[in-house]
Homo-oligomer: A and B are copies of this chain.
Amino acid sequence: MAAADIHHRTPEFRALYQRVLIQLKDFVGTKNDVILISSSGTGAMEAAVSNLTSPGDRVLVLTAGKFGERWVSLAKAFGCQVETLSAPYGETFSIEEVRAKLKPDVKAVFMQATETSTGARHCVQSVAALTKEADALLVVDAITGLGTTQFDVDGWGIDVIIGGSQKAVMIPPGLAYCAVSDRAWQRMETTKNPRYYFDLRKERKSAAKGESAYTPAVALIAALGAAFDYIAAGAGGDIVAGRDALIHNAEVVAEMTRAAVQAFGLKLFAPTAPAAAVTAVYAPERTDSGAIVKGFKEQFAGVIANGQGEMKGQLFRIAHLGFFDYLDTIAMIGGLEHVLQPILGRDLLGVGLKAAQQVYAKRRGTSLTQLLESDHRCSCGRPMAECSPTLAVVGA
């Protein structure tokens, strides 16, 4: 980042920008154009709403947590008639309920791939199978999903999939990106909602010239390119293989974490559909989860997150994004044993660690395909392999 103080209307920047846009296609796994926006992920969420809807449009939001509720707020802010299908926090929707709510006049469906606030995974493939046959566009917030979860963006027909810079790609916040389908580009020809900074068609035109429409976060874009180089370097220079290694890592350390906290006798907040991006755990009874977050930070100078909104105090969350790897995860579990032992009042030393070690021993050396084809099941009930196929190399 420090080396990237270059002007954004120069050949140097254009070369960087074009390279990063190609890397983004590979990372997302799509032939669709990927648009890069200098904003947080919420900016790309707003872009999806403002570019794809007109006031009065009927839209369906699938919500089961804080980020699902953000779709509701955004769609209402842009004058949509919002239908919601809500699942309780920590759970996911039945595909039959989605089918029932997907009336012919629904113009777009908004959902999360993984709900960061609860640690639940939603089955994007199942929803995409419904929207593909309907007039509705499918918009997926995959801000914590990309790089932790497999998507066949073009094969399933995801119209807009959204990512951010600060999650699995491991750079500071400030960039969002979204891959946009032909169907979605066509919709933008007629939609009437106002947009200016987040005008996706304008960004697409500028990108064709190797530029951004407005002054971009140059240093972050350089960092994003460096992050993709790093991800690829770990897999023989292949960014797709590097991304799959990130996903494999997230799947394994998430499973280690679930095994450890269950060995402590704690309950997962999203047991039926746990995401690989983040694990949310109920605090022990009569314990404020803030005490666990604070104890861990004070003793080990490490970060475990509290619950968000009304879940604050009830649960704590452990991230598996980017290169939170085996070593980080084992260390975190070790520290957690010391923090939880006085709260639970029983000997935890080595208990979670052993459970996590056994998971790692079982999963190490597997390919991502083997991992997904093992005993994992998607929230929709199918084997995970069917909902998260290992993708062929796609992209530019």
Contact = CB atoms under 8 A, between A and B. Distances in A.
A179 B327 CA distance: 38
A357 interface: yes
Interface string A335-357: 10110010000000110011011
B338 A331 contact: no
A338 B359 CA distance: 11
A350 B358 CA distance: 9
How many copies altogether? Answer: 2
Interface string A284-327: 00000000000000011110000000000000000000000111
B354 A358 contact: no
Given A2-B2, A354-B354, A349 B330 contact: no
A17 to B, nearest CB: 26
B330 A328 contact: no
Contact of A357 (B299, B328, B350): B350
B357 A334 contact: yes
Nearest to A364: B338
B337 A331 contact: no
B364 A354 contact: no
A349 B263 CA distance: 15
Contacts of A350: 350, 353-354, 357-358
A299 B325 CA distance: 11
Nearest to A359: B349
A78 interface: no
Most buried by B among A325, A328, A349, A356: A349
A161 to B, nearest CB: 30
A360 interface: yes
A230 to B, nearest CB: 12
A43 to B, nearest CB: 31
B334 A326 contact: yes
B334 A349 contact: no
A338 B354 contact: no
Nearest to A256: B334
A67 B332 CA distance: 36
A4 B214 CA distance: 35
A392 interface: no
A357 B338 contact: yes
A358 B349 contact: yes
A361 interface: yes
Contacts of A335: 326-327, 330
Contact of A353 (B302, B328, B357, B364): B357
A331 B356 CA distance: 12
B349 A326 contact: no
Contact of A331 (B2, B331, B341, B349): B331
Nearest to A350: B354
5 contacts: A334-B334, A338-B357, A349-B357, A349-B361, A350-B353
